[in-house]
Amino acid sequence: MLRGQSASAMGERTPEMTSYIRYEDWANSHGPGGITEFDAFFKGVAEARYVIRRVTRIVDEQARLQALEPLEHQLLIQLFGAEGRTLNVNRLGDRIDVPAAVASRLVKGLEERSLVKRRKSEIDRRVTDVHLTQRGRDLCVTVWENVRPHMEYFQKLLDDEAKRIALAVFGFYVGVAHEFTDQLD
C-alpha cells in the first residue's frame, strides 16, 4: 500500500468492509421457502424477547408480593449468587445495570429491613461491601418457591421449537453459538 492511501482506495478490504460484506451476505441469503437467515434470526429474537419478558414479569410479580421492588429483588439475587454472598456497591450497580448511587439507595432500604448488611471493605476502607443476611436469603428462597409453579406452567405453553429457538438466541447473545443459523437448522 502506498503511503497516504487507504486500504479501500487500493481496492483492499478493511476489516470493517469484510464485516459489512459478511453481514450483507447473511441478511440477503435465502433458505427454504424464501426466508432469509436474517428473517429467521428476528423470529428467534422475537421468541427470546417473549420468553424474557414473560419470565421477568412473573418474577417481578412474585417479588412484589413479598414487598420487594424488582430492582431490590435483582440486587438480592446478585448477592445470593456472589462468592461469599458479598459484593461492593459499585459492583452491585454494574450487575443490576444502575448507577452506584442508585445501588447505594437500594442497599440502604434493604439494610433498614435487615435483608443486607453494609460494612467497610477489609481490603480498601473506601469501599463499602454489601452482604446478604440470612433473612435476605430466606426471602429470595420464598420468592423462588412462589415463582416455580408459574414457571412450570409457562414452560408447558412453549413448544419444543420455541424453546430451541429461544435457547439459540440466548446462546448467540452470550457468544456460545458460533453461528446462529447452525442452531436453527
* SS3 at position 123: coil
Arithmetic mean of pLDDT, 156-173: 89
pLDDT of residue 141: 98
Arithmetic mean of pLDDT, 131-145: 98
pTM comes to: 0.74
Arithmetic mean of pLDDT, 119-145: 94
Return left, alpha or beta for 4; rule: phi > 0 is left, psi -120 to 50 is alpha, else beta: left
Would you say 74 and 55 are in contact if contact means Cβ atoms under 8 Å apart?
A: no
The DSSP element (H or E) to which 119 belongs, if any, is strand 116-120
Residue 101 grid coordinates: 448511587
Position 108 pLDDT exceeds 50: yes
What structural domains does the chain harbor? 33-184 (1.10.10.10)
Average pLDDT over the chain, rounded to an integer: 86
Query: Which tens digit of pLDDT belongs to each residue from 12-66?
Result: 778 777 766 666 665 566 666 666 777 888 888 999 999 999 999 999 999 999 9
